[in-house]
C-alpha cells in the first residue's frame, strides 16, 4: 500500500474508534478478512486500543484469523486486547 494511503487509513482508524467509543461501551473490529499484519498494523491495533481506552470504551477484535492470533500472542498484544472467535 502506498505511504499516503497508509497515513490516511491510520487517521481513519483512529477517528472511527474515537467516534464510536464516545457513544458505546465496546468498539468491535471484524478482522475476518485480515490474514496478514505487519508492524504498522500492530501499531494500529495498539493505537485503536489506546484510543478506545482513553474514551472509556473497550476494543474487541472479532474473527481473528489463526496467523494474526499467533502474531498477537507472540507480541503479547493478545494479553492486552480482547478477542472473540
Q: Which of 3-7, 31-35, 51-55, 73-77 is the most confident on average?
A: 73-77
> pLDDT by residue (tens digit) across 9-25?
555 777 788 787 778 89
CATH number at residue 12: 3.30.750.24
| Backbone dihedral angles phi then psi of residue 84, each to the nearest 5 degrees | -130, 145
Q: Give pLDDT, residue 11.
A: 58
Q: Give pLDDT, residue 53.
A: 92
Which spans in the chain are helix H?
A: 3-21, 39-54, 66-74
Domains of the chain: total:
1
Contacts of 73-79 with C-beta under 8 Å, sequence gap 24+, read: 75/42, 77/42, 77/45, 77/46
- Quote the domain boundaries for residue 55: 3-84
Amino acid at each position: 500500500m502506498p505511504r499516503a494511503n497508509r497515513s490516511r487509513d491510520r487517521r481513519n482508524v483512529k477517528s472511527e474508534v474515537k467516534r464510536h467509543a464516545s457513544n458505546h461501551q465496546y468498539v468491535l473490529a471484524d478482522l475476518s478478512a485480515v490474514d496478514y499484519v505487519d508492524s504498522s498494523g500492530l501499531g494500529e491495533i495498539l493505537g485503536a486500543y489506546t484510543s478506545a481506552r482513553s474514551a472509556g470504551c473497550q476494543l474487541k477484535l472479532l474473527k481473528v484469523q489463526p496467523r494474526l492470533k499467533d502474531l498477537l500472542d507472540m507480541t503479547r498484544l493478545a494479553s492486552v486486547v480482547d478477542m472473540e472467535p
